[in-house]
Amino acid sequence: MDELIPSRRRALEHLLARLGFRDPALLAQLRWDLLDQALIHPSLDSRRNNDRLELLGDSVLRILATEFLFQSYPHLSVGELTAIRSDLISDAHLAELADLHGLDRYLEVGSSSQNDLVGRGRRLADAFEALLGAFYLSWGTYTLPRLHPWLDPYLRRRVEQWFQDPTRRNPKAALQELTQRLWGSLPEYRLVAAQEHPPQFTMEVWGQGRCWGRGEGRSKKTAEMAAAAQAYGRLQSEET
């Protein structure tokens, strides 16, 4: 494997410290080349990038979130657990976690993406998942026990927010209730863009002759949910 240049190695060590991973024995088992690759966007390098690691990390995250919910909320139904897990692993939440840890400063992107603010959230979410993939390939079966102490507090906080905020529980239903109350009409969802590999959809939600919100996701439903959440917040602020 190629050795990292010293400045990049120091930057990644700083990132791991921000994440709370400081144990020398733990760091000694890391695949630093994979950690570096997890933070390379395809716009910078079409061959060595975080696409494949993101795919693996998505599965790691699903297991982490499912284990956390299964053990922490034994009273919830399967339907509730599924809905909450969808929010926990959403691009919006992952981008929030990535921002919290300053991941943007370590992510290397090409010039074509540097000013792409619309795609920023997706880039950060992908990089966050790619990091989990790099951890899994480094630590193997010990990955989950090492990631739970770090990630579980953030998941717990998000679950608490989910119970308190109707837009997180079901943003489409919350928006529909609001628009019916204000105007007696239903919102209209429009597909703006779609790609198959990797799957990515952009949806807008319209009403009263204007666009209320726009969202992206890996399915039309997820994108509609994101658009509805944005629209709900916007209309609520206008109403007050």
Please give the positions annotated as active site.
Answer: 58, 129
Residues contacting residue 18 through CB under 8 Å, at least 6 positions apart? 101, 102
Q: Which residues of 44-59 are buried (b: 16+ CB within 10 A; e: fewer)?
A: beeeebbbebbebbbe
H/E element, 210: strand 210-217
Determine how many CB atoms are found less than 10 A away from the CB of residue 108: 15
> What gap in Å lies between CA 21 and CA 162, rounded to an integer?
28
> What gap in Å lies between CA 74 and CA 78, rounded to an integer?
10
Which of 222, 205, 221, 225 shows the shortest CA–CA distance to 213? 205
Q: Are 199 and 218 in contact (CB under 8 A)?
A: yes
> What gap in Å lies between CA 137 and CA 174, rounded to an integer?
41
